[in-house]
Amino acid sequence: MTELARNPRTMQKVREEIRSCVGNKKFAVEDDLPRLKYLKLVLKEVMRLHPPAVLLLPRETVGHFNLFGYDVDPKTRVHINVWAIGRDPSMWKDPEEFVPERFENSPIDYSGNHFELLPFGAGRRGCPGISMGMAMIELALTNVLHSFDWELPQGMTEGDVSMEEGAGLTIPKKVPLTLLPVTPFYKTDA
């Protein structure tokens, strides 16, 4: 929601997609999710810039190998910094910018098959809950955006929204996001 608050055109575009797919139903359901293509682009971009954790769980090498000219011995503990990968200018054009369209017509996803985007790890030791977790995030965000228009508190601009992140195993926002719900979208039959 923070990235959407900072990028109101993106919020409007994803909201329009949601409302055209969900229609006048009071709530979105899981069956609505496959049609929300732009929402999926937005979530990939969010996971690129704001992965759930900075580092993947450590791994230990099983044999000697050479990596970019460095000799790596067996039993070396390796940490993968997914936060840095998501902001690496050699992998991403304008890596600090929030641009969901960068994933349009791209095979890159967050399931661990592409080194450029590893928010949940990869391989046998990747997060087993990716599918369920992402479905829950998609459904929650879809309903939040479907049910209300959202705006910043009076006097606050998009540039005032803090993107500062805290420290820890996960990456919490340092300053909580404050948004105001505006008139509900759906009409209930009285």
DSSP classification of residue 58: P
Strand pairing class (180-184; 148-151):
antiparallel
Residues 122, 123, 129, 133, Cα dihedral to 10°: 30
The annotation status of 127 as a binding-site residue, yes or no, is: yes
DSSP H/E element including 77:
strand 77-78
Q: What angle do CA 69, 75, 76 make, to 5 degrees?
A: 45
- Which residues are annotated binding-site positions? 127
- Which residues are annotated binding-site positions for heme? 127
